[in-house]
Structures are given as C-alpha cells and as structure tokens.
Chain A
C-alpha cells in the first residue's frame, strides 16, 4: 500500500466522516468494528431540543400574522427556520425541524386549525413541497456547515502539522521525535504515541523516552504504571509484538479493536521513509472507552511519514558518524601496528646481530660465553617470531587483512614453507604426498605458507619424533590439506579449543609458544573461505586438516609448441 502520506488528507466528498477504509486484516484482533465511527448523530440532544424550540417559536410568532399575510408566506418563515437550524445545529436537527415545521404549519395554520386534518386537498401539495424543500435546504446547509468546519479543522491541523514538522527537523534523537509527535497526537486526538524502532538485529523496541519522556507522555493518562512486560507495552495498550513486526515487515498500516481484556484500541503505522521502513508508530487511544476515528488515519499517516523522514535522517547521521569513527580507529590501529612492529623489530635485529658478532668475533669466545651468545641470539629470534605472530593476529582480528589471492599450485607453497623451516624441523623427515591432479588454488601465498609453517612447527614441537606428513585430497568443492604427525596426539575433547587464542596442547614448560600459532592458522584459513580442524591421526598422533575452496581456476592454454 504505502500511501504517500506526505500529501494532505484527501477531502471527503460528503463532508461526513469517510466510511471506514479497508484495512489489512492480519489477526482476529482486527475487526471492522474497529473502524466504525461514532455516528455523527451523536450530536447532543440539546441540538434537537433547540430545533424543536425554534420551530415552536416560529409558530408562536407567526400566529398573530394569520389573516394578515398569506399562508404561503408563513411557509417561507418555516423554511427560513429550517435553514437556520441546519446552519447552526447540523443535519439531524434540520431534518427534525423540517418535519416539525410541516406538522406545526398543518396543525396551527391550515384550516381547520388545531387539527391535522386537511379540508382543501391542494394543501397536501404545499406540505409535500414544503417538506421536500425543507429537507433539501437543511441537507445542503448542513453540509456547507460541516465543510466549513472541516476546512477550519484541517487548517488548524495543517498548521499543527507544520509546527510539528518544524520541531521535528530540530530533533537530534529518536526520543525527541517521539516527544514531538506524541505531543501533536495528544493535542489532535487525545491519543498517545509510541515509536518502535528496530535494533541492529531487526527487533523492534520502544524508544526510550529518556529525558524527554515527561514532556512527551505526561498528562494524558494515569495508567502509566511503568510496566515494561512486553516490548510494546505502554500506557496499558498492549500491542502483540507479532503485529508490530508484521507492520514493520509489510509496510502496511493496521488497526486494532479493544481485546477481551478491555485494552484500548490502537493503530499501527509503518515509518515509511524513502529508502525503507525504519520503524513502527503506535497510536493508542487515551482510554479504553475511546476509539480512534478512522477518518484521522490520513492525518496519522502524515505524522508517521514526517517522523519516518526524521528517523531515517537520524539513522543516516548515526551511520556516517559510525563509519567515520571506524575509519579513524582503523587508521589509528594500522599506524599503531606499524609503529609497534618497527619499534620492536629494530632492537631485535640489533640483538640478533650483536649476539652474532660476539659469536663470530675474534678471538673466539670461551665455550660458556659462546653458548650465552647463541642463547641470546636464539631468544631474540624467538621473540621476533612472537612479535610477528602477535602483529599478524592483531591484523587478522581487525578483519582488515587484504588477501593477495592468486591462482597457483599448492606444491610451491609447501616447498617454500619447508625451506623456511629447515632450522625448526631439526632434520625431521617430512613426507610430501600431493596428488598429481591437484588443481590450481587461489590463495595468498604468504599467509598460507604461514599456516603450513605453523602446522609443521607445531608438529615438530609436540611430536618430537616420528614422521611428519603433508597430504592433500581433492573433494568436490574444496581441496583438503592435512599435516599429520606421529606424536602423542591431541587432548581428547579439546580439539576445537586448540584454535582459541593462547591455548596450548599441554601445559608444560618444555615447549614454547604463546598458543597464537593455531589461532592465526584458523583466522587465515577462514579469511580464505576454508575451515580448519584437528583430529586424531589414524595410527596415533594428530592431524590438522584445512580446506581451501576450489573455485573456478583460470584457463591455461598452452601456446602452440608448448604441449
């Protein structure tokens, strides 16, 4: 539906409250009765009494004129009274006045007087014409009056809407929007208003009235017991969350009747902004006895659309601020990371170099000092590895790792991982079993080499002897790479935990590492769209398996003569 609610409420041709608009019926709670209007006939009895009085007074005033003026002129007097009654008292009294005038005219003026009997048949025509003219004039006059009233009311409303729009444009948060729109609805309809806005997950929550709460909701009722049982509980009107969600999802307005618990009726409007539905506006009557006139729906739609525009503006302002904050913090993070990495690397480079100079200097150091120099060097290198791991993890966790993915044979990265780890493997035998038909894979070679490096280093560290193997399997969607060892295996049940930060296989002092290695592996593999897991190796030991998606490798067309 999504009416263009910014347009002024359409005029009702009849000047009467419009027939109930057809509303989407979403639940048993909604019934046509909800939109039934309080009849305009509810005009107070006083108006009818006034009509009667006017007619009687006319009759009394006209009585002395009998014989002085023609009866036809007395008819005119009665018609004038009907016009006046219609103008001042409305349509119903005018109809009453029309009939009463005819009756009084017949009774008091047409011979035989003081009897409803008519001697001369031609007076029947007079009565008929008089009644018809009186009814017609009364009708037209009453309509004129209603239209004038309606116009005046609309003008007031438009001015109020305009004032509200101006106030809304200065709103800086949703609570102010709710307060301003709430004040307008209270003045115009004696109803209360609640905005339901979605959170990040898309669940609707009432706006926290905050500091403006007293301004926006005070006074209209005393039933605000501060209860917050449901997400949309407010002022005794309970709107089941599903209905608010339905309005939010469909963008269609919805009306409610009082339910069996006697809660007041309410209307729900989507906050339809140009881009999307950004919330739901709930308007509920101030008390259970009152209903909201369906005729005011266009007005409320206008309120909803004004509120929607402001809420959307607030949302986009928040989004821009958030983005700017993100950019700022990212800039800060990356400059911090590079500063830290530079500042840590330089002294470590110096440490390694100076320890080396001690070891190779002349004359050669005594064995004890040579050992010390070697230990300094080794520890500095280890520290450098830790720093590297920490910085990598910081970058990976920031989620801002830019993968330099290229299609390449996996074999190459196995070779470079092994050659980079020669010292760490302590001459261990590594068996490589890669199938000949391994397809090209798209990955960041530096990062995947790091995964292999960490897995191989772990295998060498935790399985001090036995063979280490690197294998691969081609599966339908992915290629699975496995690094297996023949060590003591994994702690049962803790396989998944191994990949958490700072988790180590066993709490022992003999092997080092801050437990970052596997967490980095997982971050890298997941950044590639793969998965990594650990499992016991058939025949003892542990197996770490990770997958890389196969994707669609680029074409490889050997030029002529390159077969």
Chain B
C-alpha cells in the first residue's frame, strides 16, 4: 500500500512550485472522502478542484482543464459512466474511477466508456497517489518510443523484434499485436472486450478464452514466473493491465 510514497517518482514531487502543479478534478459526493483525498493530493503538491455532483463535475472539467479526473461512480445525481462517455467525446484527460468492491460490472462499464483505471474502496493514500502518478506519467500515444524495456525483455516496435535476456523470442502475430496493444496502454486497465475488439476485431465477444490463452502464452514467453506475472497483470473479472 505504501509503494507510492516510497518510490521516487518523477513529476510533481520534483517541481513543487504551486502554479506548475497539475490539477486534479475530484468528483465525489462524500465530504469526508473529498477531505482526505484533497489533503493527500495537496501534500503531494497537486492542485485539487472539487465537485459533489456529476453535473458540477462536468462543468468543473470543462472550466479547469484538469490533468486528471478522480470520479466516484456512485454519485447522487446521475450516472458516472455517462459522465465518462461525455468527457471522452472531447477530452483525453486520464480518468480514475472510485468504485465499490464486488462491482466488476460497474468497473467494466466505466472502463469501456473510456476510464483509464479504477480504485476500489476503501483505498489508502499510498495506493491513491501511486495510481494518480502512474496515470500522469503515461506517455501520450503519439510520444510512444519504438524501443521499450521491461524486466529483461526488450521490444523494438520499429524492427518488430522481441528479445529476452539478449536472446530473440518468437511471438506469433497475434501475440505480438496483443503485446504492442498492452505496451501502448501501459498503466491503463484494458477490459477483455477492448482487447478482443482491438486484436481480433468486432464480434469476438464469445471467444474471450482466446484472449486468456494468448495472454498466458505471452506470460510464458516473457514473464519470469508465468503464474505470478510482474508486468502483464490480471484485473480479475475486468481485464488486463501492463505495468513496466
């Protein structure tokens, strides 16, 4: 839980000037939750703007142009998922939803609508900061570099080669496509449906076991211990997430 505080992240911590601090929009109806989230974010040198309803949240995001949105899915005046759909119509701002445990369907709906990550209540401050920073660190898609490394694996997307500990690894076309998709969305949770649609095309909802089998293959080829992956992570009941 404390990983976020102990790691030395680049970004806001190194630039404590307030005016340069990224703005986080917090849309949450519980005052006490807003209170401790605001305190935690401000301690970490973020600027925080608050809204208690979906309508106010939408107006806030339009006016303040935040670097990130924290959105509670259980707002009193409306559907958080609809708010995400609206935002995604005109903004690529990273969205982290705050959601209940055992509410996978809600999470999937939010992610499918365009949310980037979710935090399950109750969450600690360390976890919150780690997720926020991870979203802010994510490279914009157009800034993606050809080469990237994780663990002892090196992927060269220009050359379409994958090496592990210096030795070439053979990936099938689907495995490679899947890996590139995960890398391009590193840090973001991709739902099963999103992955199936991107890799296999539309209409593959019935064959989600293909996705799981190929993810298993990738783990066997690229992870040190396929049963306990460090990079290609399972979000149970929701999808997958790549972590560098």
Residues in A lying within 8 Å of B, measured CB to CB: 341-342, 345-354, 356-357, 360-362, 377, 380-381, 384, 388, 391-392, 404, 406-409, 411-416, 418-420, 423, 432, 434, 440, 444-446, 449, 553-554, 556, 558-559, 561-563
**In the complex, which of the residues A342, A449, A558, A561 contacts B236, with contact meaning CB atoms closer than 8 Å?**
A449
Out of A381, A414, A419, name the residue touching B122 (CB < 8 Å): A381
Partner of B126 from A356, A407, A416, A554 at Cβ < 8 Å: A356
6 chain-A/chain-B pairs, Cβ below 8 angstroms: A350-B36, A356-B125, A357-B40, A377-B124, A406-B208, A416-B233
B residues apposed to A, CB below 8 Å: 1, 5, 30, 32-33, 35-37, 39-40, 43, 74, 100-102, 104, 121-126, 172-174, 207-210, 212-213, 215-216, 226-229, 233-237
Among B101, B122, B207, B237, contact of A351 (Cβ-Cβ < 8 Å): B122
Question: Are A353 and B124 also in contact (CB < 8 A) when A361-B43, A408-B209 are?
Answer: yes
* Inter-subunit contact A353/B173 (CB<8 Å): no
Question: Is the beta-carbon distance between A357 and B237 smaller than 8 angstroms?
Answer: no
Contact between B209 and A562 (Cβ–Cβ < 8 Å)? Answer: no
Check A353 against B123 for contact (C-beta < 8 Å).
yes
Expressed in whole angstroms, the Cα–Cα distance for A440 and B216 within the complex equals 11
Tell whether A432 pairs with B213 under 8 Å between CB atoms, given A413-B236, A423-B1, A562-B173: no
A411 proximity list for chain B (CB < 8 A)? 216, 226-227
C-alpha spacing A418/B100, complex, angstroms: 21
Of chain B, the residue at the smallest CB distance from A392 is B102
**Bound Cα distance A407, B212 (Å):** 9
**Once the chains bind, are A350 and B30 in contact (CB under 8 Å)?**
yes
User: What would 18 more interface pairs be, CB under 8 Å, given A341-B100, A412-B212, A418-B227?
Assistant: A346-B121, A352-B124, A353-B32, A353-B37, A353-B124, A356-B124, A388-B101, A408-B208, A409-B212, A412-B234, A415-B234, A432-B227, A434-B227, A444-B237, A445-B236, A446-B102, A556-B210, A558-B172
Residues of chain B contacted by A392 (CB below 8 angstroms): 102
Chain A residues positioned under 8 Å from B227 (CB to CB): 411, 414-415, 418, 432, 434
Contact present for B234 and A416 (CB under 8 Å): yes
Contacts of A553 in B (CB 8 A): 209
Given contacts A342-B100, A554-B209, contact A418 B43 (CB under 8 A): no
The answer to whether A415 touches B36 (Cβ under 8 A) is: no
Q: Verify B36–A446 contact, CB threshold 8 A.
A: no
Contacts of A350 in B (CB 8 A): 30, 32-33, 36
Q: Which 4 pairs of residues, A with B, have the shortest CB-CB distance?
A: A353-B36, A356-B125, A446-B237, A349-B122
User: A357 contacts which of B100, B125, B174, B208 (Cβ < 8 Å)?
Assistant: B125
State whether A362 and B43 are in contact (beta carbons under 8 Å apart), knowing that A350-B36, A377-B124, A412-B215 are contacts in the complex. yes
Partner of A354, one of B5, B32, B215: B32
Cβ of B201 to closest chain A Cβ, rounded Å = 12
Contact at B228–A418, with CB atoms within 8 Å? yes
Bound: A406/B206 CA distance, A: 9
B213 to A, closest residue via Cβ: A556
C-alpha gap A446/B114 in the complex (Å)? 22
Contact A349 B174 (CB under 8 A): no
Residue from A361, A406, A415, A562 with most neighbouring chain B CB atoms (10 Å): A415
**Contact flag A356-B40 (CB < 8 Å), given A351-B122, A413-B236:** yes
Contact B213 A409 (CB under 8 A): yes
Q: Establish whether residues B43 and A345, one from each chain, have CB atoms under 8 Å apart when the complex forms.
A: no
Which single residue of chain A is at the shortest CB-CB distance from B31? A350
Chain A residues whose C-beta falls within 8 Å of the C-beta of B33 in the assembled complex: 346, 349-350, 353
- How many angstroms between the C-alpha atoms of A345 and B103 in the bound complex? 13
B209→A407 contact, CB < 8 A: yes
Contacts of B74 in A (CB 8 A): 342
> B217 — nearest CB in chain A belongs to which residue?
A562
CA A449 to CA B125, docked complex, whole Å: 25
A557 and B82 CA atoms in complex are apart in Å by: 38
- Of chain B, the residue at the smallest CB distance from A562 is B172
Interface centre among B100, B104, B173, B227 (most CB of A within 10 A): B227
Inter-chain contact A445/B237, CB cutoff 8 Å = yes
